[in-house]
Structures are given as C-alpha cells and as structure tokens.
C-alpha cells in the first residue's frame, strides 16, 4: 500500500461533500433522531466541537478510502470501485458496529437506521468522489 500516492484534492473534496451530506441528513431527520437518541434539545449543550470532530473523522475516512481503493485497483481508482468499497466497508464495519452498540446502549432500531443511513451515505459519497477524481497526478 503506497501511503504517498493519494489524491489529496479528492480526499478533501470527499470529506467536504460527505460533511455537507451529514448536515442535510440530520437537519432533515432532526426530530426523529432526537427522539430515537433520547435527547432533549432544551438540555443539550451547544458546541461546534461535534461538527469539527465529524469533519476530521470524514477526512480520515476519505484518506483511508483512497488508500484502500487505490491498493485494490492497482493505483487506478474508479467510480464503481469507490462505490463498491464504500458499501462493503459500511456493511462490514459501520452497520455491524452500530447494530451491536445500539443494542447494548438500549436504543431502538430507529436510531440505528438513521445513523446507519447517514454513514452509508457518507461512505458511498466518499467512495464515489475518490473514484471519480481517480489517481493522484504524478
């Protein structure tokens, strides 16, 4: 795996688009998400920190996706490869982790579906952007 052969423009673009998707996703599903997460907006502390952490997490995810897709495609990422790897990584790691964690935390499947749908969208978007931009210019 070549840690230097990463298209950084693709990584940054993927993280930005994924973060914007997340903002739209949770704005549209804010009421059902708050109910499913058992949160009261009146008692929640307002802070920009979760938004910053989300962007950093998506930047790391985009970097890892670029490495994985690049390694698995011989250094020539494609849109389809990004889409497939986005789905497979979501299914193998995110869907399974959320399903288990939410059961231990005594949350309902509604929270799992909302959060899982968000992360599926994020990983598909990241994969598509990484694949669409292709390999780093040499």
Local confidence pLDDT in tens for the 138 residues of the chain:
667 779 999 999 999 999 999 999 999 999 999 999 999 999 999 999 999 999 999 999 999 999 999 999 998 899 999 999 999 999 999 999 999 999 999 999 999 999 999 999 999 999 999 999 988 766
pLDDT in tens, 83-107: 999 999 999 999 999 999 999 999 9
Among 15, 5, 93, smallest CA distance to 58 is for 15
User: In residues, how long is the chain?
Assistant: 138
Q: Would you say 9 and 133 are in contact if contact means Cβ atoms under 8 Å apart?
A: yes
| Residue located via tokens 């494609």 | 78
Predicted pLDDT at 2: 67
Vertex 61: Cα angle to 17 and 128 (nearest 5): 50
Predicted pLDDT at 138: 61
DSSP conformation class of 42: G
Cα–Cα distance measured from residue 64 to residue 60, given in angstroms and rounded to the nearest whole number: 6
Q: Cβ atoms within 10 A of the Cβ of 5, count?
A: 14
Cα–Cα distance measured from residue 70 to residue 134, given in angstroms and rounded to the nearest whole number: 9
Domain ranges of the chain: 8-134
pTM score, two decimals?
0.94
Q: How far is CA 27 from CA 30, 34, 113, 127, in A?
A: 5, 11, 16, 23
| DSSP secondary structure letters along 56-74 | HHHHHHHHHHHHHHHHHTT
């Amino acid at each position: 795996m070549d840690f230097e052969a990463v298209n950084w423009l693709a990584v940054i673009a993927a993280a930005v688009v994924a973060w914007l998707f997340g903002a739209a996703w949770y704005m549209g599903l804010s009421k059902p998400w708050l109910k499913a997460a058992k949160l009261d907006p009146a008692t929640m502390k307002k802070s920009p920190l979760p938004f910053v952490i989300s962007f950093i997490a998506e930047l790391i995810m985009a970097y890892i996706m670029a490495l994985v897709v690049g390694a698995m495609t011989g250094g020539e990422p494609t849109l389809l490869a990004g889409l497939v790897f986005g789905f497979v990584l979501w299914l193998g790691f995110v869907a399974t982790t959320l399903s288990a964690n939410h059961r231990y935390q005594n949350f309902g499947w509604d929270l799992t579906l909302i959060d899982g749908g968000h992360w599926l969208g994020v990983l598909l978007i990241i994969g598509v952007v990484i694949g669409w931009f292709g390999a780093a210019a040499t």
